[in-house]
Amino acid sequence: MKGFSSRHNHEDSYAKQSQYSSLFVPENIGASMRQFDSIKHHNPILDSFYASGLGNGSLNKNRGRNFCHLSYLIYLEVNPYAPKKIHLFVKILDIELLTDISEVYKTLWSVQALQLQNELSISESDLQIFEIGQAHSLAVSNSNKVYSFGWNDCHQLGRQTPITENANGYAPITFPGEGVKAKSVATGDDHSLMLDYQGNLYIWGDNSRGQLGQGHCRHVNKISPVELPTNDSIKEIKAKGSSSFVLTHSGKAYCWPLYMDAEEVFLKPSEICLPQKLQIASVGCGYNFAVLLSKNGLVFTFGKDNQVGQLGHNDTFPRDAPALIESLRGEGAKITEVSCGFKHVICKTAVGRVYTWGWGEKGQLGHGNFSNLLAPRLLSIPITTASALGTKIKALQVKAGFKHSVIFLEDKKIMWFGSNGCIDDQCVPIEINLAHKVFFSFEFSQTLFT
């Protein structure tokens, strides 16, 4: 397996890998794809993949550099059948271009994603969710079925078949019990979680670091339930690297494996407690660190890695327990959204201000340099239109990719900065030109944009 023999020794190797593309996933993506397809009489997603060079499996030419990762977004913006009110994106999927080769996906990732959507569209079903691990992927349809494809060397595909490094194509996952319907999924590097509509949590994949929450690090070759030390209903599940997080509707958060110090590790779900029993509104996951947003807008961080200041406390010391970022509270900022990249964080306040901190080597902090920041710094968002001069531009949404950041503004413009498949070392926010991300024929695009 060329280039992947040491893929489990990867903790910091991510930062050294070459190019990332980013796929914005809007809500109800499948319906928009299918409606648009019925108008155009060919598959525009397929055009987008191949016009940009993905799907060729090339390791040498880096031809996937201009991957049309905004094509899905355009469908919602210009599709006359789409809802007038849109949620810009649900998440950003970072796709390492090296994984779109046959050594990882026997049939290439881009090809399998398209084939699966086309197959489902025959039965009037659509893909609603994509989750991408280190070398495996999950897709969820609006009929609540979960499909997996990619490597299966750690049982990360959830298949009751012999373990192989490369499973042959996508297939639905069969979960224990009758009538299980997936509500949401999450993927770490080599493990996955699924929450069903009955509130049951399932997990499978690699367990060499206790990722499965079973209290041990032995190999498990089946899908297992996860037992939480609470009867609270689950609101959200997240995973990154070898860590998993669960957030309940009552504002409690659970994590595993939980490293308290060099000697003590909890391999079953353990509650993460905030001071004064504050309730948690959301969880952001980085690699070996996490950010907790309380319901009253305070930000807490913890983790065993703080080498570049991603915990935001103006130092590089790790934290075993959640610690309040005092500088944000000192500025009177009520935070309403946080998002984590590999080792950087972006957040926004209730009045639309944006702060970033952590790893800045690729320009992903947006402050005009490539320095790391040990504490949050207010971001200056450039004025992009004459009509906006003299006004304060407010952010409605922020998201962090692996090594870039994205801001959705109230004037419906999108700014990004950092490095991905389209920008390199962009250290100040620039506007995304949506028109350049569409690979339609001139006649058809002109009709839609006028």
Q: Would you state the pLDDT for residue 142? A: 87
Residue pLDDT, tens place only, 349-364: 999 999 999 999 999 9
In terms of pTM, does the model score above 0.75? yes
Residue ranges of domains in the chain: 277-441
Among the residue ranges 48-52, 197-201, 281-285, the one predicted with the least confidence is: 48-52
For residue 442, CA distances in Å to 51, 289, 438, 445 come to 15, 46, 10, 5
Q: In this predicted model, which residue has the larger pLDDT, 244 or 19?
A: 244
Q: Would you state the pLDDT for residue 360? A: 97
For residue 35, CA distances in Å to 25, 40, 83, 124, 141 come to 16, 9, 12, 11, 16
Among the residue ranges 137-141, 159-163, 208-212, 217-221, the one predicted with the least confidence is: 159-163
* Averaged pLDDT, 162-178: 80
* Averaged pLDDT, 170-179: 90
* Averaged pLDDT, 173-185: 92
CATH number of 277-441: 2.130.10.30
DSSP letters along 321-373, please? Answer: EEEE-HHHHHTT--EEEEEE-SSEEEEEETTS-EEEEE--TTSTT-SSS---E
Q: In the predicted model, is pLDDT for residue 255 greater than 70?
A: yes
* Averaged pLDDT, 158-174: 77
Q: Would you state the pLDDT for residue 376? A: 97
For the ranges 162-171, 213-222, 265-274, 365-374, the maximum mean pLDDT occurs at 365-374
Half-sphere exposure for 433 (CA within 13 Å, toward CB): 4
Q: In the predicted model, is pLDDT for residue 41 greater than 70?
A: no
